[in-house]
Amino acid sequence: MTQQQIAISVVLVVTMVLFGWGRWRYDLVAMFALVSCVLLRLIDPADAFTGFGHPAVITVAAVLIISAALKNAGVVDEIASRLSGLTKTPIMHIAALTSVITVASAFMNNVGALALLLPIALSTSAERDRSPALILMPLAFGSLLGGMMTLIGTPPNIIIANIRASEAGEPFGMFAFSPVGLPIAIIGGAFITFIGWRLIPKARMESNNASSLFEVGNYLTEAKVLEDSPIANQTLGEIDGLQDSNVEVIGIAGRRHFARTVSANYTIKIGDVLILQSDPNELKGFLDEFNLELQTTATPAFNTPTPENDVMTEGVVKTDSPLIGRGVEFIRRRTARSVALVGIARNGESVLRRLRQQTFKPGDVLLLNGDVESIDQHMVDMGLWPLASRPIDLHRSRRVLLAGAIFAIAIAIGIAGITSLPIAFLIAVGAYVGTGILTPRQIYDDIDWPVIVLLAAMIPVGNALTTTGTTSLVANALVTLTDGFTIYWIITLLLVVTMLLSDVINNAATALVMAPLSIAMANSLGVNSDPFLMAVAVGASCAFLTPIGHQCNTLVMGPGGYKFSDYWRMGLPLEIIIVIISVPLILWFWPL
């Protein structure tokens, strides 16, 4: 290996480790990789930011904006709102919602499709008295399956198409992914509907009933012992009724960041702040019975009865929420102290810090209190998806036909070759603004900027892998390692490796790393690179084993009450099915 090949290999390995670790956001890791390559003379400084003008980046940004426009117009919601009658049985419930999100995700960002259907899934779960855990993982997996069907369904497909353009002179078309993606979506959806949901642990179904305010596991909250509290000067073990309550005292607030655990013989003192784990519906009765004062992040705290116009509501932290990495003080500033954090639920791990010392993560579920007239807007501003039950409004003004027509015309212009697809989508964005479906501000608000930065930074890094000869070196080594294997098994290996990588790092980053390698492998074997690229496209979208592989998986973890280990139970057999059906389809429709 040359010095440059060693350097780019080290940068890439460190980058992959940091992606998987998740300590820093993936866009920051990607920029670290880009800057490192420039400093090591692997990328010319003049070419460092060419990724921001790359067609793949422009297309992804445009698709995100178009997704917001379709959401504003109510295109998917119009269909989803009519599903109530199709949810009588669990199978019908899963089939109806999963089918809608699969189709929607083929033509809009899958996270945007999930944003539309998540409240509807929770609402219909409550109507049928079913656990959200039954519905939400199938919903997230359906969104990933739908993204495989078209060019714009998921960023990896856009990346693969543009990399193919640099290799073969022509990108994959809008529906080039459909011959493989459509059968995968149909068969995968059938598996999820009839078999997959049965693999979700029964404990999630029993402990996460949706009949009340959508339970997402117990909240961490705090309550102060008042002077006339009946439990003052008693030990925890002496308190009558405490053992039978669903509210658990897990510790006493310390002076600094952490709470300290206490035993049954701890004597409660006046002024102690108890750390509680509780369902929100049972918390009020507990506070009243023992004369405790709820400690919130509002200023002042809720020392007085809650005003009549105040409301308690829940919201899940989105992956692009400004709350991520920040604490309670940010909520105070963002809402001018008009919204109070009452509790936080974080499934799958213990929450040991004081409420005021929490830093928020994607998938956290926050219990908030605020004015009924303004709390919805505050939740939007803070990047929260509301989980409280709300009726589906069938009478609001919608421009479904107009939004759909603009989108269809843009696709037709791109497919007909009148202009490139990125330009066609930008024309559609202009039309949405001109017709009032989008406001100019929403154009920027609805772009997932971390994804854009990730793509723009990693494209030059991917080019550096090729220009230094590293991809050819690795590809030749893999070809030598698989000497004697048929093309069928080589593509299978490539698909499985891509799947595993996508389960731990961002799917766009996976595509950017694996696509040049797949082309180099095809060139070493002297065959057409298209089936290799298709294998990478399928594998990069198959993040079914973990909650961190894709934003959709992360965002249903809290509302569904899932644990990290729950995903592979349904995800592993689904990935095996996809491997079995996709490799023959790839080789049939994209021959060597």
Neighbours of 238 (CB within 10 A): 13
Kindly indicate the confidence band of residue 241, based on its pLDDT and cuts at 50, 70 and 90: low
- Which residue would you say has higher pLDDT here, 482 or 376? 482
Tell me the per-residue pLDDT of 564-587, one tens digit each, with 9 for 90 and over: 889 999 999 999 999 999 999 999
Beta bridge partners of 363: none
What is the maximum alpha-carbon separation in the chain?
Answer: 84
pLDDT for res 302: 40
Listed in order, the ranges of the chain carrying CATH 3.30.70.1450 are 219-386
Least confident of 11-20, 21-30, 77-86, 114-123: 77-86
Average pLDDT over residues 458-477: 89
pLDDT of residue 180: 96
Q: What share of the chain is helix, strand, coil (3-state, %, to 5)?
A: 55, 10, 35
**Which range among 29-38, 184-193, 352-361, 419-428 shows the weakest confidence by mean pLDDT?**
352-361
Q: How far apart are CA 307 and CA 7, in angstroms?
A: 62
The pLDDT of residue 281 is above 80: no
What pLDDT is attached to residue 365?
84
**What pLDDT score does 211 carry?**
39
> Model confidence over 365-393: pLDDT tens digits?
888 878 877 887 888 888 887 765 444 34
Distance, in Å, from the CA atom of 502 to the CA atom of 522, rounded to the nearest integer, reads 21
Average pLDDT estimate for 137-143: 95
CATH number of this structure's domain 219-386: 3.30.70.1450
Residue 493 confidence (pLDDT) above 70: yes
Residues linked to residue 315 through DSSP beta bridges, in sequence order: 366, 386
Omega within 30 of 0 (cis) for the link into 300:
yes
Within 10 angstroms of residue 123's Cβ, the number of other Cβ atoms is: 20
Q: 306: closest CA among 368, 358, 245? A: 368
Q: Which residues, 6+ apart, have CB-to-CB distance to 400 below 8 Å? A: 73, 74, 75, 78
Q: What is the pLDDT at residue 214?
A: 39
pLDDT at 492: 95
Over residues 294-314, mean pLDDT: 57
Give how far Cα 558 sits from Cα of 345, 363, 450, Å.
7, 5, 22
Q: Are 566 and 204 within 8 A, CB to CB?
A: yes
The pLDDT score that the predictor gives to residue 84 is: 66
| CA pair distance 550, 563, nearest whole angstrom | 15
* pLDDT > 60? residue 395: no
Tokens of 408: 């269809």
Q: Which of 56-60, 90-94, 109-113, 241-245 has the lowest mean pLDDT?
A: 241-245
User: Is 563's pLDDT higher than 50?
Assistant: yes
User: What number is the average pLDDT over the span 163-172?
Assistant: 87
Closest-CA residue to 543 (of 579, 514, 516, 572): 572
Length of the chain as a residue count: 592
What is the rounded average pLDDT of the residues 288-293?
Answer: 83
Res 148: pLDDT: 94
Q: Which one has a higher pLDDT value, 171 or 352?
A: 171
For residue 592, pLDDT over 80 is answered with yes
Rounded Cα distance, 206 and 17, in Å: 37
Residue 321 contacts residue 360 (beta carbons within 8 Å): yes
Stretch 490-496: mean pLDDT, rounded? Answer: 95
HSE-CB for 489 with a 13 A CA cutoff: 8
Residue 263 in this model has a pLDDT that exceeds 50: yes
